[in-house]
Amino acid sequence: MNKGYDNTILFAVTGTSPAVLTETVWALATERKAVIPHQIIVLTTTAGRKAIETELFKTGLWDNLITALKNKGFDIKDRLKFGLCANHVRLFPASDGKSDLSEALAKHTKKDLSRRNSTINNLPTTT
């Protein structure tokens, strides 16, 4: 199980369907060469964070995953560190507070590229 790695991090981008996290962790753990991350970091929107809180933590789904992995004989000591704190759930701001993550990312990328192009286009040229 991910021997030779001091700190394996699962970095995920999620929208409002956080079950993808439990499915991914399960799939990684049950592969022939099992990988169980030490920690999970999620990039999402405010709506995504609320979905993580409701669908993974309030329902007990995250705890059920950990129990299922233990029952299969996996040693998860010092692994699967994940919670609602900013170390684990990083918010990507949606400008209107309602957009899904793909819309928020697209808007941010467009704004960032416009800013970068403006900077590049305004650089002095040398002859």
Residue 111 inside a domain? The answer is: no
Of 30, 18, 38, 41, the closest CA to residue 68 belongs to 30
For residue 82, the one-letter residue type is: F
Residue 109 inside a domain? The answer is: no
Q: Is residue 58 helix, strand or coil?
A: helix
Q: How many domains does the chain have?
A: 1
Residue 33 inside a domain? The answer is: yes
Residue owning tokens 């990312």: 105
Residue 1 inside a domain? The answer is: no
Would you give per-residue pLDDT tens digits along the chain (127 residues)?
656 557 899 988 888 899 999 999 999 999 999 999 999 999 888 889 999 999 999 999 999 999 999 999 999 999 999 999 988 998 876 555 555 566 666 666 666 566 655 544 444 444 3
Token pair in block for residue 110: 């467009």
Residue 100 inside a domain? The answer is: no
Residue 42 inside a domain? The answer is: yes
- Domain hosting 86: range is 9-91
